[in-house]
Structure 1
């Protein structure tokens, strides 16, 4: 199947790349860029067809994310995060979907999934309060998916949830000033005693068991794939895309460089530089190939009505965290050999290095956690984790 959105996005990449430094300085994506990505269909790729979405194979979505991230890491990150939320909303009760997309199918949703929110049961739903950090692209969204925690009478955690809250029910505080992904506008959300009806609450256990109420109305294979794969791959894909873009920039920049030290000569004739390029290219390819293989396997199993095995879920998580690790290893090799000229602020190579490492610290990219889960499963031990 042709990835038509990718074709439209490629036409935007020169402008996105040219504006990368301005995006970083502004610490948010411009409305113009968000509008262009909306028009290209990026944010509808994983949206239910019932609400004007493309409901596409997620491999195509990640391909688009990598392409955007190669031009600007911050723009790619926001495109991925805002673009994966329509898929998540598709798992909610249809009343919630209609509330968000009924009048405008281009409505965007931000998130902060840490279970910060305190939920007090009230008639018809819950009263929710909390402060959530790191909500990427929050300024462009009219709704937010926020992590909540149900507690017992003694204050003990009873259940982790995701709640859907409209813009009128939360405040945004501008606090984002980070070393990398500076243009993502990942600011803070505050909710004070907002009423959230029951139909706008999803229990994370339901999601991990592939039993969201939205699956009753969104019956396509896209909505039968585990959250742990769809979301974590959306966090890894921008990092890999940043590194892939850095690799291309590295080749273009270093091809004509002449060394003034270490004996001089053309950089491209240095056999150590040649080895670095080969290793970096292989790490990037391995990251993409393994993750695309797993997502394809999941999508094909869902399309055929087959069981999504725990082994495949664990393998997908394993290769996702290792994909990020491989990408970071590749960019370390490139940055180390790029020379002092690449240290100047605003240089695409140094910005990519910062952006990739900033994305790498997201909890979804925690290598040891992902590998430990796979190891438990490989040994036949029980795996009880919502991120599988």
Structure 2
């Protein structure tokens, strides 16, 4: 059995444990060390990691399939797994020395992130001075490096450069601020950098990744590392939400098979034709979201494997389908919640937790539908599109 298949099997065997610990994870407000070690032991974090340090360089659909399954068991775990897991893909685009800094001594080293450019970046000899506060760094308690977004001002008429900066744990502190209504178990706390020097080789331009370029491609020539950041990362956010919708669907069907609608003369909910229609619509929405994701990723990988240029129309379509995938998953979640009855609002019921987690994921900036759909429309009308997230 191939390595990626072993990982997939290992993840599926772990799902009952993740499901049983979902409430504990929410109450803790972060994944336990044991929880994360169990996930790492399946090889999940190796899926998008380069081969030179023991990674599997797996197909993105394999990675996203595992994420969906994990999030269907526990939304918070699926979210952290997806976000931290994709960082191994991004680091493979950095210069070789940056990869050695992180993985040279321990290929199992993990990174968290916060890409919104909320800090201050100053270009200096040999690199950059980094200061400020970054929020929403999911899983940061279990990472010893962080990827931070920042803007380097341009000189004169030169445009500003939006970059990612890689910092070790010694250069930052974590501030516990994570008190939320959803995704409570992700531990998405703030990263605070008082004043750190980041050598130039530990930074990467979003302009380069938008062109499917990166200095790490010389070391890591796999087609996996020649697909756009703007296609991979947005689906890293949408896939867990699809997984949460999947988990909520399963919980809802189980719940409705046993539910009796007292207000309607004791009729079993499963026999209610309106409930049957609602569950069919929800299932169709979840399936549509997942099928478009896999179709986009398969087409992108096929072109990258063939060495062909990835057309802008395909890249815009992937972003269009990503935000629509989130919308479809949320639509399904809302329909199922409305159909579940009063018992579903108890905090002991998984349905309400999936509902809260999915809506918390929905407000991530990458899920801004109008922005992504407008870009697609611009492309269809022959107008130029300049965005690092395509």
Contiguous gaps of at least 5 residues in structure 1: none
- Alignment partner, residue 325 of structure 1: 327
Seen in structure 2, the aligned counterparts of structure 1 residues 154 and 185 have a Cα distance that, compared at 3 Å, is farther
Secondary structure, counterpart of 2:185 in structure 1? helix
CA deviations 1:211-260 (Å, max 9, x no partner) are 11111211001000100111110100000000001101111111021111
CA deviations 1:85-110 (Å, max 9, x no partner) are 00000000010001100010000000
Q: Confirm or deny: 8 A CA contact 1:150 1:157 kept in the other structure.
A: no
Match of 1:60 among 55, 59, 62: 62
How many residues are aligned here? Answer: 388
| Distance of 1:177 and 1:199 partners within structure 2 | 35
Q: Displacement of 1:192 after TM fit?
A: 1.5
Question: In the alignment, does 2:5 pair up with 1:3?
Answer: yes
Match of 1:245 among 239, 244, 247: 247
Q: Confirm or deny: 8 A CA contact 1:149 1:157 kept in the other structure.
A: no
Q: Confirm or deny: 8 A CA contact 2:154 2:161 kept in the other structure.
A: no
Seen in structure 2, the aligned counterparts of structure 1 residues 192 and 154 have a Cα distance that, compared at 3 Å, is farther
Greater shift after overlay, 181-190 or 211-220? 211-220
TM-score w.r.t. the length of structure 2 is: 0.97
- Alignment partner, residue 88 of structure 2: 86
Question: In the alignment, does 2:353 pair up with 1:351?
Answer: yes
CA deviations 1:298-343 (Å, max 9, x no partner) are 0010001011000110010010110010000001110001000000
Question: In the alignment, does 2:74 pair up with 1:77?
Answer: no
| Distance of 2:359 and 2:86 partners within structure 1 | 21
CA deviations 1:47-100 (Å, max 9, x no partner) are 001111010000000000000000100000000000000000000001000110
Secondary structure, counterpart of 2:231 in structure 1? helix
- Alignment partner, residue 373 of structure 2: 371
- Alignment partner, residue 296 of structure 2: 294
- Alignment partner, residue 20 of structure 2: 18
Which structure 2 residues correspond to residues 103-252 of structure 1 after superposition, within 5 A?
103-152=105-154, 158-252=160-254
Runs ≥4 residues deviating over 3 A: 152-157
CA deviations 1:329-380 (Å, max 9, x no partner) are 0011100010000000131000000000000110111111111111100111
Greater shift after overlay, 145-154 or 174-183? 145-154
Q: Displacement of 1:119 after TM fit?
A: 1.7
Q: Displacement of 1:153 after TM fit?
A: 6.4
Q: Confirm or deny: 8 A CA contact 2:136 2:188 kept in the other structure.
A: yes
Seen in structure 2, the aligned counterparts of structure 1 residues 315 and 260 have a Cα distance that, compared at 3 Å, is same
| Distance of 2:17 and 2:211 partners within structure 1 | 42
| Distance of 2:156 and 2:303 partners within structure 1 | 43
| Distance of 1:52 and 1:99 partners within structure 2 | 15
Seen in structure 2, the aligned counterparts of structure 1 residues 193 and 157 have a Cα distance that, compared at 3 Å, is farther
Q: Displacement of 1:271 after TM fit?
A: 0.3
Secondary structure, counterpart of 1:76 in structure 2? helix
- Alignment partner, residue 382 of structure 1: 384
Secondary structure, counterpart of 2:133 in structure 1? strand
Q: Displacement of 1:11 after TM fit?
A: 1.1
Q: Displacement of 1:3 after TM fit?
A: 3.0
Please report the RMSD computed on the Cα atoms of aligned residues, expressed in angstroms.
Answer: 1.4
Seen in structure 2, the aligned counterparts of structure 1 residues 187 and 157 have a Cα distance that, compared at 3 Å, is farther
